[in-house]
């Protein structure tokens, strides 16, 4: 079964997505997500100009060999662009193999280890009332675990607060544009770590008081603290029993987390911007984290992330795969098949896509009573409507960034 075509499809129904579609000489097609938020076209070129021509004629069943060929023959290893491109090829080939087998992909990964995947959603509010409303809204949608992000007094706009959430009147769904701000330049936000560190524990105290001790609560620090500030934060949130605290320091310095571990038992999650097992070498071996945040889309696909998660499993570290709206339904489905199959699944992030995105990508995965399931269609269970995709050309979009009061550019 030879590959006869590898097409890169860019579409922007509610936000930009890059999808690789591989076709075999038997007419079987497979999809892979290659969306790299804010740098989408770099991956398009990598795939279209350098990878697609190499795929023609390859045996589509040789997934591991194709992965190793793309990783090693390039000479230039790792990095988000390379690893997103390899991921798309890998996932598309798994999709094809599972379709040919006539099975949902999770069956080829070892079969289901559970009946469904616990998902968490994003609640946020500038004020306490808005935050409480947002938590209740998520509970009404079925979410059984909730990420809490809050405004900070004195700061005008903060990443992850849904001032830019859009309510879709036709579907009744509130979806969050958070990572996708269309425009020629990134939006500028402001930041003050000391105000944030003072304010956040008061918010978690109020949330626990209102919603009780059972509800799993998560929080994302978005890489903004120094090691000692991160340790202080983890320690100050200990009484509120978080499910996890995410990205408390910039990710490059793995050793930073040693200091945090010395001071707190708050569980830690990291890795949404990591792209190979090497980024985890110290923090897995030294047991400095509790959850691996990598997405299939950004970590070399199912083949590589499965290896990372198996390594993590030896240290009782679980998965907590990244699942914002900038992962396409194809990438989300891949995460769900992998999450259903592995033993050390922890939780899956799930923000809902907009209705136009759901028309472009027809999906068989389900979200019921707070639990995700990839569905039982052969393959990934996601198909791309190419005509529908063609209605929405690429639009320039950037993640926001932030500056301190004196104008200094701050960590992400």
Q: How far is the CB of 36 from ligand EZ4 (least distance, A)?
A: 8
Residue 176 binding partner per list Co ion, ligand EZ4, none, with a CB distance cut-off of 5 to 8 Å that depends on partner kind: none
Number of residues that bind ligand EZ4 (CB under 6 A): 10
Residue 33 binding ligand EZ4, by CB under 6 A: no
Q: Which stretch binds Co ion (CB under 5 A): 86-94, 139-147, 219-227, 259-267?
A: 219-227
Structure token digits, residue 152: 């900070």
**31: number of CA atoms within 13 Å, CB side?**
26
Active site residues: 159, 222
Q: How far is the CB of 111 from ligand EZ4 (least distance, A)?
A: 29
Q: How far is the CB of 220 from Co ion (least distance, A)?
A: 4
Other residues' Cβ atoms within 10 Å of the Cβ of residue 10: 20
Specify the residue, 21 or 224, whose C-beta has the smaller distance to Co ion. Answer: 224
**10: number of CA atoms within 13 Å, CB side?**
16
Write the CB contacts of 30 (distance below 8 Å, at least 6 apart in sequence).
21, 22, 60, 91, 92, 93, 94, 95, 96, 99, 379, 380
Give the Cα separation of 203 and 208 in Å (integer).
9
Q: Binding ligand EZ4 by CB under 6 A: which of 13, 221, 324, 329?
A: 324
Q: How far is the CB of 23 from ligand EZ4 (least distance, A)?
A: 29
Strands (E) in 301-380, as ranges, are 318-319, 348-349, 361-363, 366-368, 371-373
Per-residue binder mask for Co ion (CB under 5 A), 364-393, x = binder: ------------------------------
The answer to whether residues 292 and 320 touch, using CB atoms and an 8 Å cutoff, is yes
Q: Binding ligand EZ4 by CB under 6 A: which of 40, 95, 290, 326?
A: 326
Residue 220 binding Co ion, by CB under 5 A: yes
Q: Binding ligand EZ4 by CB under 6 A: which of 192, 220, 290, 383?
A: 220
∠ CA 63-332-135, rounded to 5°: 160
Residue 301 binding partner per list ligand EZ4, Co ion, none, with a CB distance cut-off of 5 to 8 Å that depends on partner kind: none
Residue 131 Rama label (left phi>0; alpha psi -120 to 50; beta): alpha
Per-residue binder mask for Co ion (CB under 5 A), 250-289, x = binder: ----------------------x-----------------
Residue 33 binding partner per list Co ion, ligand EZ4, none, with a CB distance cut-off of 5 to 8 Å that depends on partner kind: none
Q: Binding ligand EZ4 by CB under 6 A: which of 40, 90, 178, 290?
A: 178
The answer to whether residues 361 and 31 touch, using CB atoms and an 8 Å cutoff, is no
Give the Cα separation of 395 and 10 in Å (integer).
10
Strands (E) in 91-134, as ranges, are 117-125
Structure token digits, residue 204: 């978690």
Residue 272 binding ligand EZ4, by CB under 6 A: yes
Question: Which positions touch ligand EZ4 (CB under 6 A)?
Answer: 37, 178-179, 220, 222, 272, 322, 324, 326, 399
């Amino acid at each position: 079964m030879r590959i006869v075509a590898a097409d890169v499809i860019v579409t922007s129904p509610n936000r930009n997505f890059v999808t690789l579609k591989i076709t075999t000489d038997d007419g079987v097609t497979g999809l892979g997500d290659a969306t790299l938020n804010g740098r989408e076209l770099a991956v398009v070129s990598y795939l279209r100009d350098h990878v697609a021509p190499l795929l023609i004629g390859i045996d589509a069943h040789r997934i591991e060999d194709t992965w190793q060929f793309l990783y090693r023959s390039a000479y230039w290893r790792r990095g988000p662009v390379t690893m997103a491109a390899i991921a798309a090829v890998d996932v598309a080939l798994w999709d094809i193999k599972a379709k040919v087998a006539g099975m949902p992909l999770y069956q080829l990964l070892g079969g289901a280890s559970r009946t469904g995947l616990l998902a968490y959603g994003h609640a946020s509010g500038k004020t306490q009332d808005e935050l409480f409303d947002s938590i209740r809204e998520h509970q009404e949608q079925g979410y059984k675990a909730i990420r809490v992000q809050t405004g900070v007094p004195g700061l005008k706009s903060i990443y992850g607060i849904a001032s830019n959430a859009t309510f879709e009147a036709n579907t009744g769904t509130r979806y969050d544009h958070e990572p996708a701000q269309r425009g020629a330049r990134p939006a500028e936000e402001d930041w003050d770590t000391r105000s944030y560190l003072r304010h956040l524990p008061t918010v978690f105290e109020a949330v626990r008081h209102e919603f009780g001790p059972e509800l799993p609560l998560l929080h994302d620090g978005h890489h903004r603290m120094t090691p000692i500030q991160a340790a202080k934060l983890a320690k100050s949130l200990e009484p509120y029993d978080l499910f996890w605290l995410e990205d408390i320091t910039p990710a490059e310095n793995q050793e930073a987390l040693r200091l945090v571990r010395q001071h707190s038992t708050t569980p830690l999650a990291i890795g949404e911007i990591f792209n190979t097992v090497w980024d985890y070498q110290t923090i897995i071996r030294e047991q400095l984290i509790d959850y691996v945040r990598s997405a299939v889309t950004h970590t070399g696909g199912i083949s590589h992330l499965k290896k990372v998660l198996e390594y993590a499993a030896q240290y009782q570290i679980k998965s907590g795969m990244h699942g914002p709206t900038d992962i396409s339904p194809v990438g989300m489905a891949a995460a769900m098949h992998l999450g259903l199959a592995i033993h050390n699944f922890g939780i899956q992030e799930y923000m809902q896509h907009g209705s136009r995105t759901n028309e472009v990508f027809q999906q068989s995965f389900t979200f019921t009573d707070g639990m995700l399931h990839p569905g039982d269609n052969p393959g990934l269970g996601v198909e791309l409507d190419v005509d529908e995709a063609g209605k929405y050309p690429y639009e320039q979009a950037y993640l926001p960034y932030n500056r301190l009061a004196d104008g200094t550019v701050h960590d992400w």
